Structure 1
Amino acid sequence: MRYSILSFIIISIITISCSEEKPQKYTRDNDTSLFLDEVRAYYFTTLDSTIYYLNQMDTANSLQKNQSLFLEVRKWYKYNEPMLMAYDYENYLTINGPNLLKVEIDDYTDIKKIEPKSLQVVEEIIFDESPDLQKLHSTLQFLKVRLPFIKKNHIIYRQRDKHQLKLIRDAIVNIAAKGITGFDSPMLANSLKEAAYNYQSISQIITIYKDGFNDKSIYEEWMSNLKETITILEKGDFDSFDRYGFIKNHTNNQLALVNKTADDWGVELNKSRELNPNAENLFSKDFLNLEMYAYQKNASGSKEQIKLGKVLFNDASLSQNKNMSCASCHLANKAFTDGNPKALGIDGKELQRNTPTLTYAAFQKSFFYDGRSDGLENQIVSVVNAPDEFHMDLKEVENVVKADSAYRKLFNAAYAGEISDQNIRNAIANYVRDLASFNSKFDRNMQNIEQSLTVSEIQGFNLFMGKAGCGTCHFAPTFNGTVPPKYNETEFENLGVPANASFTNPELDDDPGLFYPYEVEEKRHFFKTSTVRNIALTPPYMHNGVYESLEEVLQFYNVGGGAGMGLDVRYQTLPPDSLNLTDNEIEAIIAFMKTLTDQQFEPDSSNLEIESLSLNN
């Protein structure tokens, strides 16, 4: 009964607001939005409704009643989510974060271990066969306090029209890259219906802005598109949903509509963020803002800088023994890996971990498997200083370069003649940043350049982003651990990777991963989520190169990682349950991943570089 009354009130408010005589509203670029009061009222309505149903949940209720109430909580939260994500991102991460312990480390004396108390935690408890009522009680108590706190301490006072448009764009991206993957509905796989709730709120905001459209046909295009999108999501089945068609025909069209709307409203979205506001395709080369991933904010690199970086990348004279370069471990014909289980250092000494691909390395915030560097330029320092790699220091490298007349010529063209360790590192980093072309078969199909994907390849993408759960860690479009919608954080996972390839007698790998340098036990065996782009060219796989084939990798995930094989992996982030993928489904996922090979690495490509250069090239 309460729901019916609440719905009537909302409809009445909207009806009254539409029928009353009001001054004509319009959009503007640099002043507080004239539509803000209505958006704020909708935000409060959806938040109040979330709080209302949440307050009815109690451990004294039957499990069935709590489950029913939780579905109402989730519905109203999902109505609210696009706005919460825009206005209060930190609380968005808290309220609906994954059921995983969070460890925040500032230094050796400031290490925080934060137990999750989110809606995902509630879902996993109340739909479990043996619900933990004590944990449910504490989680509900936290949420019942936090949500009213969020409302009381809101900051929705001076947002401009461009902020509301950014809200819409970020919500669209979040749904495509994370929402429809099942990321935040781990037990129920209710993601499609919840994505429809998100879209209903987008539709409501567009409706609020109806009078702000100068070209009413753009408004009508929005409403038609959103209506169709919501219908498709409401009718969709999680396991069989066509995510490929959804992103291609809905997400990308809506990103184009965001740009048309910005022009119509006379506003310009902020370009100083990782997500490029002008990109109209989730898989276009300009979807992410390369500059925002660069330590020096000199990321694009001129042709001269990239050429110089390529020469430096291949120069073995920059190492102490004069027999090792960056290209020694990163071979172009192997998508800048080396084909070894673990990298080989000076004199062929085996190093600690597998050589990761450098393709798309630019689009992440942490480097090395243990995240010990926070930028490409900094990562280069570690390689130069490592005793088993270059075994040099930056000053020595700088002196080697300064002594070479050919380098002086290249630096004249690239950096106005300034030879410094900073510019040396920047040139190499810019060369690496140039290794992200977004021109694979899959990209070209998503960009409507060609229509060449097979039924199996499309099915593989849909499985990757759905039933198989790959897309909940390998996020589109880079398919690495850079987390949408802000794309400003690189995630790490504990998969329970074994030291041997046996599925019957596995042994847990002893690499500590993120355990060092702070010696936090809860971070042992955690490693950065790498990209699966160009994965067909980069065996063997995992941080220790334990698996030689993609079939083995998929089998590892299918059985539930290390814990699923019976290993004691206390903080494993991968669910230990089987994915129940069939052999045909595994083949389809592999077929999709092979479409992520960039065109320049394809066997018949005339663009394939063999990295062996001289200074005079």
Structure 2
Amino acid sequence: MFSRFRLNKEAYFMISLFALFISCIIVLDSCSQRNRAADTTVAFQEMEELYVSDLSACISALDKLKNSASRNNKDVIRPMREHYQKARMYFKYAELVLSFIDTENFRFLNQPNILKVEEEDQTDIKEKEPSGFQVLEELVYADSVDRAEVAKHAALMSNRLKLIRSNTQLQSYQAYHFLWILRNGIARVALTGITGFDSPVLEASLQESAFAYKRLKRYLSYFKHEFKDEALYQAWNQQLDQSMESLKGDFASFDRYSFIKKHTHPQLELWVKTQQDWEVEFPFTLAFNHGATSLFSDSTFNLKHFDDLKSGDLATEKVLLGKQLFNDPSLSISGTMSCGSCHQENLAFTDGMAKSVGQTRNSPTMSYAGLQRGFFYDKRSGSLEGQIVAVVNNETEFHTSLEAMSKVVKQKPTYQQQFEALYEQGATEVNIRNAIASYIKSLSPFNSKFDRNISGKEQSLTEREIRGFNLFMGKAKCATCHFAPVFNGTVPPEFTETEMELLGVPAAKDTVNAKIDPDLGRYNLFGTESRKHFFKTPTLRNVALTAPYMHNGVYTTLEEVMDFYNRGGGAGIGIQLEHQTLPPDALSLTKQEIKDIIAFLNTLTDQNSKPKQLTSAK
């Protein structure tokens, strides 16, 4: 008895000691988490102080610019430009935080010098004159400076920034917010910063991108406590320093291809390692997937970000069902037309005609259609499902109804079985639309020669093709409308808006007596005068397969398209339109440079492949 009691007593002691040990670990871990949270709060407080300081310096420079412009003094141009450049520098410092926490105000302050039109419906149309740094840059560096206009815009921007400053509060943010800010900053530099997107006159984009990196490095230092791996923190500092050094190059000759390969993508790799090192859990996913280490990959984008209908995961079985429906002519009233009639797979989902049979416009590609924020050339639909409905109801296309199409589908046992297996409600109108949309969303393989090279999977690009990409992203300014990596009009890195442009596309191939094409585009929806001839910016992926080009198919070769742009669009061939969004100045590209750009465009052709393996519907 005594022996057994002693053993039990010893066992009890050991159990108690172990329990005490576990309790200490829990307490220590809890204390560690509280201390870490406190450190994170302090880090955001430091960020906020620096951010507010940058806003204040920007406001001060704008106020000085306004005062200089208001003086009746001939020798004011030089100080005005100095004040502008200082204001712009501090705005770029503040951009990282401002663009994340207040997207609308950031867009206002950084918008292009183009009339802003908001059309909710025919009773709610707003036209807003542009303001902000791009407008101010064009004014301050004009041959004849309108000082009254400079003073007006400087005052407007200063007041807007003062309002932003007074409403800044970052201390409630979490570590994952900072990681999103960090990644957005990296992506913005690569996709708009180094292209000259927001520095139309000075082309100061490289220096301004270095400003962004300088602030990224400073902000990152505030979060040093989050790093368990000291080497990872040092790797960040080394990468950011190298990026700033590389951005000292000349705008025209800058190697953007190498910058993305040597800096942007390695930084995305560091970003993924950092979220793992910090053990961060994200509440949801933005445009980029959290594991993305390349901007040019089939795993880069979160397709749900582009889906306002929240239609669920993209399952392989739904994609394959959608493909059958997409190519089934029995769904149309005539029994002879399918989606695939005008969107043929071997032509990158176009039809090779200037205008599709019975239609007034060129057939747009379905490639990468899921990565945009507007459908049809005039953006009359806001979702793929809405586009499908419009095609089904159109008298010159399917000329039927969703109800009738649903009955056709239900009459086919194979379809009925598949829908019952994949959808709870079977072959409903909603589910039919979802299946077809799922197939279209899957047409974004990112497996072209260019993708494989810039993502480091192979080294097969020629010097001409690389030069072409650098010209596309730089001197030729193609990427200021066709944004990489999708090369369409959806603006990175937020990818919440798809732009429309007025290019002045002619009715025929004529550079002497050119006349504007009669299609009024967006104007036909709401009758907004300033939206005449506006059309959505399409993707250039697979462009080698999608001739003829433009909404009316007027150009049959890429050489003709490049000649149009090189002349300055419609303005360069004598078509004068008040709201042309394409800069009217000639690009002055040489014949060799045009060949190089076309060589690059040819690398954007996807490899033939089956739909990628996605999630299961089960």
- Would you say 1:95 and 2:103 are equivalent positions? no
- Would you say 1:443 and 2:456 are equivalent positions? no
Question: Is 2:521–2:535's contact at 8 Å kept on the other side of the alignment?
Answer: yes
- Would you say 1:275 and 2:288 are equivalent positions? yes
Matched ranges for 1:569-588 at <5 A: 569-588=577-596
- What's the secondary structure of 1:298's corresponding residue? coil
Question: Is 1:171–1:198's contact at 8 Å kept on the other side of the alignment?
Answer: yes
Q: Larger deviation: 441-450 or 286-295?
A: 286-295
2:600 paired residue among 573, 592, 599: 592
Using the alignment, how far apart are the partners of 1:214 and 1:26 within structure 2? Answer: 16
CA offsets per residue over residues 229-265 of structure 1, 9 Å max, x none? 001102x111110100101110011111111111222
Using the alignment, how far apart are the partners of 2:33 and 2:225 within structure 1? Answer: 6
Output the amino acid matched with 2:341: S
- Structure 1 pair 446–461 and aligned structure 2 pair: CA distance change class (3 A): same
Using the alignment, how far apart are the partners of 2:543 and 2:178 within structure 1? Answer: 38
Q: Larger deviation: 453-462 or 58-67?
A: 58-67
2:180 paired residue among 143, 161, 166: 166
Question: Is 2:448–2:606's contact at 8 Å kept on the other side of the alignment?
Answer: yes
Structure 1 position 27, deviation (Å): 8.1
- Would you say 1:306 and 2:354 are equivalent positions? no
- Structure 1 pair 490–221 and aligned structure 2 pair: CA distance change class (3 A): same
Using the alignment, how far apart are the partners of 1:106 and 1:157 within structure 2? Answer: 35
- Structure 1 pair 29–562 and aligned structure 2 pair: CA distance change class (3 A): farther
- Would you say 1:323 and 2:343 are equivalent positions? no
Using the alignment, how far apart are the partners of 1:108 and 1:95 within structure 2? Answer: 27
Using the alignment, how far apart are the partners of 2:183 and 2:603 within structure 1? Answer: 27
Q: 1:355 maps to which residue?
A: 363
Q: 2:303 maps to which residue?
A: 290
Output the amino acid matched with 2:296: F
1:156 paired residue among 170, 174, 183: 170
1:400 paired residue among 401, 408, 411: 408
CA offsets per residue over residues 391-415 of structure 1, 9 Å max, x none? 0011000111111222222323332
Question: Is 2:41–2:171's contact at 8 Å kept on the other side of the alignment?
Answer: no
- Structure 1 pair 287–442 and aligned structure 2 pair: CA distance change class (3 A): same
Q: Larger deviation: 239-248 or 67-76?
A: 67-76
1:205 paired residue among 192, 199, 219: 219
Unaligned runs of 5+ in 1: 1-22, 601-606, 610-617
Output the amino acid matched with 1:500: A
- What's the secondary structure of 2:182's corresponding residue? helix
- Would you say 1:73 and 2:81 are equivalent positions? no
Q: 1:9 maps to which residue?
A: none
Structure 1 position 161, deviation (Å): 1.5
Q: 1:131 maps to which residue?
A: 145
- Structure 1 pair 270–468 and aligned structure 2 pair: CA distance change class (3 A): farther
CA offsets per residue over residues 129-188 of structure 1, 9 Å max, x none? 122333222111201211111111223231111111211110110111111100000000
Q: 2:505 maps to which residue?
A: 497
Structure 1 position 495, deviation (Å): 0.6
- What's the secondary structure of 2:435's corresponding residue? helix
- Would you say 1:516 and 2:521 are equivalent positions? no
Report the structure number with the largest CA radius of gyration: 2
CA offsets per residue over residues 185-234 of structure 1, 9 Å max, x none? 00000000000000000010112222332211111101111111001102
Structure 1 position 28, deviation (Å): 5.1
Using the alignment, how far apart are the partners of 2:220 and 2:210 within structure 1? Answer: 15
- Would you say 1:538 and 2:546 are equivalent positions? yes
Q: TM-score, normalised by structure 2?
A: 0.90
1:231 paired residue among 224, 245, 259: 245
Using the alignment, how far apart are the partners of 1:565 and 1:377 within structure 2? Answer: 39
- Structure 1 pair 492–26 and aligned structure 2 pair: CA distance change class (3 A): farther
- What's the secondary structure of 1:599's corresponding residue? coil
Question: Is 2:511–2:574's contact at 8 Å kept on the other side of the alignment?
Answer: no
Question: Is 2:48–2:169's contact at 8 Å kept on the other side of the alignment?
Answer: no
Output the amino acid matched with 2:119: I
- Would you say 1:341 and 2:354 are equivalent positions? yes
Output the amino acid matched with 2:166: K
- Would you say 1:565 and 2:579 are equivalent positions? no
Q: TM-score, normalised by structure 1?
A: 0.90
Question: Is 1:299–1:430's contact at 8 Å kept on the other side of the alignment?
Answer: no
Structure 1 position 569, deviation (Å): 1.1
Question: Is 2:195–2:480's contact at 8 Å kept on the other side of the alignment?
Answer: yes
Output the amino acid matched with 1:63: I
CA offsets per residue over residues 287-331 of structure 1, 9 Å max, x none? 111122224433543222112111111111111111111111011
- Structure 1 pair 30–330 and aligned structure 2 pair: CA distance change class (3 A): farther
Q: Count how many residue pairs are aligned between Structure 1 and Structure 2.
A: 575
- Would you say 1:85 and 2:85 are equivalent positions? no
Question: Is 1:29–1:267's contact at 8 Å kept on the other side of the alignment?
Answer: no
- Would you say 1:193 and 2:232 are equivalent positions? no
Output the amino acid matched with 2:287: E
Q: 2:374 maps to which residue?
A: 366
Question: Is 2:36–2:226's contact at 8 Å kept on the other side of the alignment?
Answer: no
Q: 1:7 maps to which residue?
A: none
Unaligned runs of 5+ in 2: 1-30, 612-618
Matched ranges for 1:250-261 at <5 A: 250-261=263-274
1:46 paired residue among 54, 65, 72: 54
- Structure 1 pair 514–122 and aligned structure 2 pair: CA distance change class (3 A): same
Structure 1 position 270, deviation (Å): 4.3
Question: Is 1:29–1:268's contact at 8 Å kept on the other side of the alignment?
Answer: no
- Would you say 1:142 and 2:186 are equivalent positions? no
Matched ranges for 1:231-250 at <5 A: 231-234=245-248, 236-250=249-263
Question: Is 1:182–1:191's contact at 8 Å kept on the other side of the alignment?
Answer: yes
